[in-house]
Amino acid sequence: MTISENKYHVTILVKNRAGLKSLYKIVTASYTKYFNDKPCIPQNIISDNRGNLLIGSACTQGELYQAVLEGKSDKELCDSADYYDFLEVQPFNDKDINKKIVELGTAKNITVTATSNAHYVYPEDSVAMKVLLSTKDYDKCKNMPPLHIRTIDEMISEFEYLGYDKAFEISVTNTQKIADMIEDTFEPILSGEHYPIIKDTDKLIKNSAEKRLHELYGKNPPKIIKERLKKELLSIEKNGFASIYIIVSELVNEILKDGYITGTRGAAGSSFVAYLLGMTEINPLPAHYICQKCHFTEFVENAGCGADLPKKNCPVCGEKLKKCGFNIPFEAFAGIDGSKFPDIELNIPEEARDRCISHLKNKFGNDNIVCAGDVRSISGRVALYYIADYQELTGRLLSENEKNRAFALLRKTARTTGTQPGGIFIVPAEESINDFTPVQYEEYSRLCRAVTHFDYTHLRDILYKLNILSHDSLTILKKLGDLTGVNPLEIPLDDEKTMELFKSADTDNIPEFSTKFVKDIIKLAKPKTLDDLIRISALSHGTGTWANNAETLIKSGKANLSEVISCRDDVYLYLRKEDFSRERAFEIAYNVRMGRFARGMCEEDIKDMREKNIPDWYISSCRKIDYLFPKAHSATYVLMAYRLAYYKAHYPTEFLETIKQSEEI
């Protein structure tokens, strides 16, 4: 709190939900409007928002304590005390000053409370506090009073010089009196789901999806397509996800207007509705042919990816058939009933970032688009450095117990804030971000300057979080398309010359495939198809999937690349083929993808798999997995990599020159 040129501490307690919002507004202002080396706030801002707050006089750094210390007149002290709802005294304060504050409270009929100013729980935790203080202010560290939580008896004992009755009153009676002024029916963060709602989106999505469906597959698409669309539309409507789909589809269209392409990952890559809305180019249906002239459609069983199907002409009209489908089940990413919230990641060119943010701010309000804040704790290395530095500074060697206790506490202490890469929260237009969290400014945020004060993990199940990640490869593809006249979206996905680069591991400057680790997978796995590349990408992103697992199986000849477990969708599809029900296949696949360090497979899963004669090598492979990558993610990455490889294969000069220019920027 600032008064004139002076800065003082102040205590602010929240009485109710409205008061919590007022507090968040005050904290926001302290970080965004009045930040000066440290967050601070003018007294008038507190006064303007104090209706549902309780203001206390705080510690030795409070304005009232300092006024008594400076020997100000009784009138000045009374004027100062009048501002507060309660006055505070603390155990380690000067006794005469504490007595004066108690007298002021009695004279002005202002509640006086004894507060311990606790900064840690137990007395033995003080060493961690001293280590922390020593990094900022050695004098404070050297003169730090005991700041642990005191019991009732300890607090009464600390103020025995006031007499037992008065000590009991300020330590017990008055603190309970303050507590009774505060409602106990609200939490620091609003509960429930507060997602943006756009009017008539269910109808809009249904009409748009069906229109595009008929453009692609004709007026009477095959039953498998109609059922997939019906199931997805039902789950989107039932769970209130329609607005999310509209928001992302609008952003993608904004980017496409400038001639760029995007890479939409997450639930969108598993969704047929998302494909029909133009959110993603990943058609998740099983591999199939489409005639773009007469709409003849033919599905092909046991094919991994439509792009790998043999070239074929339409048996009805003779037109060359288009090859489609990546065989991604909606259940594998959106849940067995489609109720899993659509966590969508939008990969965009750096140049399109500002356009995306502007679109969102225009739609929901400038203050309702906020970056996802990230609170970072002190690392183990830094904690050890702090402890060593404290010992050197003070000349005091800590015992092993003290070192271990200080280390454990320091590791739990927040050190700095930042932003989650690409994370954007969208607050509904009728609500305010201060309903949920204070906001601060992040100088180095790549998306928008306003950032949630709370860590994003506390808000991601309450507000809608969209992940917008800039990707240099998308910019490079745009430049290559302009240079060569070949539209990246029109590059054939069955080009033999491009595939030869991957087969020979000639993949320098190709994202996803240029590291030694991935090149080694390529050399052993010998990819032949686009589906093989998707599997390699998934293996490289998984944990416990390749080394001592798929690698060993391929080397021993027990399984080939198309048979090993590469991504989370593989397990579900394999078990479905082996006659497991949708629910049981999903449950086992979910346990596998969670990994052995989480829940992992249970004995019942193994028993059921053996009863269905699932090979031992497959069960063993499942049990070694710690994390499985989603196929939709891999497919998005591989499409981007494949297109860059196409330019490298057919336009090597333009490719190398564009890569060189991008590295120089």
Q: How confident is the model at residue 185 (pLDDT cuts 50, 70, 90)?
A: confident
Alpha carbons 529 and 26: distance in angstroms, whole number: 58
| Other C-beta atoms lying within 10 Å of the C-beta of residue 551 | 17
* pLDDT score recorded for residue 597: 65
pLDDT at 503 over 70: yes
Average pLDDT of 427-445?
87
Q: Give pLDDT tens digits for 248-268.
A: 999 999 888 888 888 887 767
Q: Where in the chain is the domain with CATH 3.20.20.140?
A: 2-117+151-180
For residue 2, give the nearest of 55, 56, 39 by alpha carbon.
Answer: 39
Amino acid at 420: Q
Q: Is it the case that residue 54 has pLDDT exceeding 80?
A: yes
Q: What average pLDDT is seen over the chain?
A: 92
CATH class, domain 473-664, is: mainly alpha
For CATH 3.30.1900.20, the residue range(s) in the chain are: 350-377+415-470
Judged against a pLDDT cut of 60, whether residue 192 lies above it is answered with yes
% of the chain residues with pLDDT over 90: 78
- Angle separating helix axes 380-394 and 400-411, nearest 10 degrees: 130
Please list the alpha-helical segments (H only) found in 285-326: none
Give the residue, 209 or 446, on which the prediction is more confident.
209
pLDDT at 429: 87
Reading across the β-sheet that carries 297-299, which strands appear in turn? 297-299, 288-290, 322-324
Q: What order do you get walking across the sheet with 53-56 strand by strand?
A: 11-14, 53-56, 86-89, 111-114
Q: What is the mean pLDDT of residues 506-532?
A: 96
Q: What is the CATH number of domain 350-377+415-470?
A: 3.30.1900.20
The dihedral through the CA atoms of 352, 356, 361, 362 has a sign that is positive
- Could you tell me which of 409, 402, 400 has the C-alpha nearest to residue 380? 409
CA-CA-CA-CA dihedral for 153, 159, 163, 166, to nearest 10: -80
Task: Report the alpha-carbon angle 263-322-275, nearest 5.
Answer: 35
Q: How far apart are CA 436 and CA 630, in angstroms?
A: 31
Please indicate whether residue 330 or residue 65 has the higher confidence score (pLDDT).
65
Question: Which pair of tokens denotes residue 158?
Answer: 């600390």
**pLDDT per residue over 469-499, tens digit each?**
888 999 999 999 999 999 999 999 999 999 9
Whether residue 144 has pLDDT greater than 60: yes
This prediction's pTM = 0.86
Class of domain 2-117+151-180: alpha beta
Counting Cα atoms < 13 Å in the Cβ hemisphere of 232 gives 31
How would residue 443 be classed by pLDDT, with cut points 50, 70 and 90? low
In this predicted model, what pLDDT tens digit does every residue of 28-41 receive, in sequence order? Answer: 999 999 988 889 99
Residues 117-127: tens digit of each pLDDT: 999 999 999 99
Phi, psi of 362, rounded to the nearest 5 degrees = -65, -35
pLDDT tens per residue, range 238-250 = 988 999 999 999 9
3 band by pLDDT with thresholds 50, 70 and 90: very low
Which band of pLDDT confidence, cut at 50, 70 and 90, is reported for residue 331?
confident
Q: Which of 194, 207, 472 is nearest to 351 (CA)?
A: 472
pLDDT score at 350: 85
435: left (phi over 0), alpha (psi -120 to 50) or beta: alpha
Per residue in 83-110, pLDDT (tens digit) is: 999 999 999 899 999 999 999 999 999 9
In the chain, which segments carry CATH 1.10.150.700? 473-664
Cα four-point dihedral sign 576, 580, 582, 583? negative
What is the pLDDT confidence band of residue 445, given thresholds at 50, 70 and 90? low
Given this model, what pLDDT does residue 351 score?
Answer: 86
pLDDT score at 403? 96
Cα 654 to Cα 650: distance, rounded to the nearest angstrom: 9
* Contact yes or no for 534/570 (Cβ under 8 A): no
